């Protein structure tokens, strides 16, 4: 079981949204130190200032997780980390034909390369001293989603990476890996999303509570809400001519992003 109290926790994308709330809740659980990474210097400074002066030591670093060298340098400066939360993520919520090459490269860079670079940077120390890695994948890593082509691709990759790493480390009991696959969370990242039937928008408080419980209980995977558990089964067992009209269109999954207006990053 992983203890949060008295531990050093690093959260990427920690300046706002889920990252900031995770940091706040870890402080409430008596973490010793919070290290927040984010590319938004202004927002990061405001968050560190707001969370400082409490029980935990809170520091921040401006880090572009797409840059492997920058990640390695920042990781060396951070030192030992007990719990790593790969939370940074972005979304381009529009048809592929409307996405620029920069949109595509940035999405894959943050959501895939950033997770791998950051995990790789801290893994040797964790293998020596123990640790817990949390990777924020997505329910979109299970099924096709219109207007989320690049995002879904990145989350399929994140899910595959995280699960493969967990199995690779199965003989290393001192290092735990948790993969988190939520549906839409009600943060600014997905403003305007219409939740599918059976999968209401998750509140950030609920999502963070489930993630922290998963860390403390060393859970391998967190799917939320309940409908997400059924998606891989339905998608792989049902032929497309049944899945798409009944599940994809019938439950509103394929229309969820029609009115997207979110800011696109976490």
The tens place of each residue's pLDDT in the chain, 266 residues long, gives: 899 999 999 999 999 999 999 999 999 999 999 999 999 999 999 999 999 987 889 999 999 999 999 999 999 999 999 999 999 999 988 999 999 999 999 999 999 999 999 999 999 999 999 999 999 999 999 999 999 999 999 999 999 999 999 999 999 999 999 999 999 998 878 877 887 887 888 999 999 999 999 999 999 999 999 889 898 899 899 999 998 999 999 888 888 887 787 665 66
Q: Specify the pLDDT at position 263.
A: 64
Distances 208 to 37, 83, 124 between C-alpha atoms, Å? 18, 15, 27
Q: Specify the pLDDT at position 100.
A: 96
Q: Specify the pLDDT at position 110.
A: 98
Question: Cα(65)–Cα(37) distance, rounded to whole angstroms?
Answer: 9
Distances 162 to 166, 189, 235 between C-alpha atoms, Å? 6, 22, 21
Token pair for 203: 């509140």
Q: Specify the pLDDT at position 118.
A: 98
Question: Cα(211)–Cα(207) distance, rounded to whole angstroms?
Answer: 6
- Each residue of 128-172: pLDDT tens digit? 999 999 999 999 999 999 999 999 999 999 999 999 999 999 999
Active site residue 184: no
Segments in the chain forming alpha helices (H): 17-28, 41-51, 68-78, 101-108, 114-129, 149-168, 204-216, 227-237, 240-242
Q: Specify the pLDDT at position 220.
A: 97
Q: Specify the pLDDT at position 116.
A: 98
**pTM for this prediction:** 0.94
The domain covering 8-255 belongs, at the CATH homologous superfamily level, to: NAD(P)-binding Rossmann-like Domain (3.40.50.720)
Q: Are 27 and 55 in contact (CB under 8 A)?
A: yes
- Each residue of 162-195: pLDDT tens digit? 999 999 999 999 999 999 999 999 887 887 788 7
Q: Residue ranges per domain, the chain?
A: 8-255
Q: Specify the pLDDT at position 188.
A: 78
Q: Specify the pLDDT at position 174.
A: 95
Q: Specify the pLDDT at position 38.
A: 98
């Amino acid at each position: 079981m992983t203890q949060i109290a008295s531990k050093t926790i690093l959260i990427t994308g920690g300046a706002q949204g889920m990252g900031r709330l995770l940091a706040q809740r870890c402080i409430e659980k008596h973490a010793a130190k919070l290290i927040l990474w984010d590319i938004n210097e202004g927002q990061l400074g405001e968050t560190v200032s707001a969370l400082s002066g409490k029980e935990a030591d809170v520091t921040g670093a401006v880090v572009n997780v797409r840059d492997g060298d920058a990640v390695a340098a920042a990781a060396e400066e951070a030192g030992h980390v007990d719990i790593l939360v790969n939370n940074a993520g972005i979304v381009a919520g529009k048809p592929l034909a409307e996405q620029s090459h920069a949109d595509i490269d940035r999405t894959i860079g943050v959501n895939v390369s950033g997770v791998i670079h950051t995990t790789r940077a801290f893994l040797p120390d964790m293998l020596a001293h123990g640790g817990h890695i949390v990777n924020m994948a997505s329910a979109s890593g299970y099924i096709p989603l219109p207007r989320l082509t690049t995002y879904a691709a990145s989350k399929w990759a994140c899910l595959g990476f995280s699960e493969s790493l967990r199995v690779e480390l199965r003989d290393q009991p001192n290092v735990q890996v948790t993969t988190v696959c939520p549906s839409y969370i009600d943060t600014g990242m997905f403003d305007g999303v219409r939740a599918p039937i059976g999968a209401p928008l998750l509140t950030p408080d609920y999502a963070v509570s489930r993630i922290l419980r998963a860390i403390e209980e060393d859970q391998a995977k967190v799917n939320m809400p309940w409908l997400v558990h059924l998606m891989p089964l339905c998608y792989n067992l049902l032929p497309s001519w049944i899945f798409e009209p009944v599940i994809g269109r019938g439950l509103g999954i394929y229309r969820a992003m029609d009115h997207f207006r979110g800011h696109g990053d976490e």
